[in-house]
Amino acid sequence: MIFRSYYAVMLRVLFRGCRAGDGILLNSNLKYFQKILPIMRISDCVDLERYPLDETDSPVYRELVNNCREQLDECGCCLLPEFIRPGALVQARREAIDLAEEGYQMNHHFSYDDVNDETLNRNLEDLPEDHPLRFRSLTKIRFVARDLIARDNPIQQIHNWSGMLTFLKDTMELSEVYINECPLSACVFTVAEAGELQDWHFDGTDYIVTVMLEDSHEGGRFEFATGLRHPGQEDDFENISKVIAGQSPNVNRPDIKPGTLTLFKGKYSLHRASAVEGEGRRVMAVLSYETTAGRTGSNEYLKLFYGRTPT
């Protein structure tokens, strides 16, 4: 035991020594060095018995992929409960909470489709007040950028693991999947407290991968509505407006527990993380992948979400 922790400390000294010159902030190195957490292997981070992403030829893996494809075809959302092992969940969550103060408090109203935006230049005064083009979607939430997070945090290990790339390729039926390489936005934590939310929006990217680390119990629900946007067609503004007004019967609210990995096709599904209520806190990890190599966030986008650009 003593040897094991000594060994872990020495490895950490070497590893973090490299990381300091690698663009990762020194103060967070020291902070976590002092805690002397055991280094985890991927088998300590992911429940590979239930989700054998390391055995792609096994019948269990094939069944898993088929099951995920079915969920994605049905509603664009696939849940893998207890994907992350309990010990890894504790470690990931602890680091997310410790780093929250160093994170960036975002508080921004997006106009409809801000990402590919033309609406900013349009005159919207003639439209009814509840028209979705006039809706301003608030993101009020704390973002912890990737360069603050230890490389050996279970979430970073999962994000960088080749098994995830193969799994995403297989489930999403893509010819290639790459890790997003942005030093800030590729793999982040989000922390939301009372009144904080990421309101209704469509994503700019095809899909996102999230891991819930802490559930707020009250509010803080992931909600989505499918079938309101199709490529090459005008959005279904009438029904989008009902969703925004809380009057749509067609909103899904999956019950997502801490430790669950979620794959979500957010480009064509209207979705939000609703406002946290009460004393609870909602902590998520958001992992980004791409279908083309070397993509990163634009500086304009990074400033908005992280208050800075990579150094």
Alpha carbons 309 and 311: distance in angstroms, whole number: 6
Question: Is the Cβ of residue 203 or residue 277 nearer to Fe ion in the bound state?
Answer: 203
- Asked if residue 203 binds Fe ion (CB under 5 A), the reply is yes
> Residues in contact with ligand AKG, total (CB under 6 A)?
11
Pick from Fe ion, ligand AKG, none: which does 284 bind, CB < 5 to 8 A by kind?
ligand AKG
Cβ-based neighbours of 300, under 8 Å, separated by 6 or more: none
186 in helix, strand or coil?
Answer: coil
Alpha carbons 6 and 101: distance in angstroms, whole number: 30
92 near 154, Cβ under 8 Å? yes
- Asked if residue 222 binds ligand AKG (CB under 6 A), the reply is yes
- Asked if residue 203 binds ligand AKG (CB under 6 A), the reply is yes
- Asked if residue 266 binds Fe ion (CB under 5 A), the reply is yes
Helices and strands (H, E) in the chain, number of each type: 9, 12
- Shortest distance, CB of residue 140 to ligand AKG, whole angstroms? 13
- Shortest distance, CB of residue 3 to Fe ion, whole angstroms? 46
DSSP 244-303: HTT--S--B-----TT-EEEE--SSSEEEEPPB-TT--EEEEEE-EESSTT----HHHHH
Please give the residue whose beta carbon sits closest to ligand AKG in the complex: 273
Site string for ligand AKG, 249-288 (x = CB under 6 A): -----------------x----x-x----------x-x--
- Asked if residue 297 binds Fe ion (CB under 5 A), the reply is no
- Shortest distance, CB of residue 19 to ligand AKG, whole angstroms? 26
- Asked if residue 208 binds ligand AKG (CB under 6 A), the reply is yes
- Asked if residue 98 binds Fe ion (CB under 5 A), the reply is no
- Asked if residue 76 binds Fe ion (CB under 5 A), the reply is no
Alpha carbons 109 and 117: distance in angstroms, whole number: 13
Question: Is the Cβ of residue 32 or residue 110 nearer to ligand AKG in the bound state?
Answer: 110
Pick from ligand AKG, Fe ion, none: which does 137 bind, CB < 5 to 8 A by kind?
none
- Asked if residue 210 binds ligand AKG (CB under 6 A), the reply is yes
184 near 302, Cβ under 8 Å? yes
- Asked if residue 191 binds ligand AKG (CB under 6 A), the reply is no
Question: Is the Cβ of residue 106 or residue 284 nearer to ligand AKG in the bound state?
Answer: 284
Alpha carbon 34 to its chain's center:
28
Name residue 110's beta-bridge partners: 137
User: Between helices 86-99 and 26-35, what is the axis angle to 10°?
Assistant: 140
Cβ-based neighbours of 196, under 8 Å, separated by 6 or more: 140, 141, 142, 275, 276, 282
Pick from Fe ion, ligand AKG, none: which does 222 bind, CB < 5 to 8 A by kind?
ligand AKG
Residues near ligand AKG (CB under 6 A):
190, 198, 203, 208, 210, 222, 266, 271, 273, 284, 286
Binding residues for Fe ion, per CB under 5 A?
203, 266
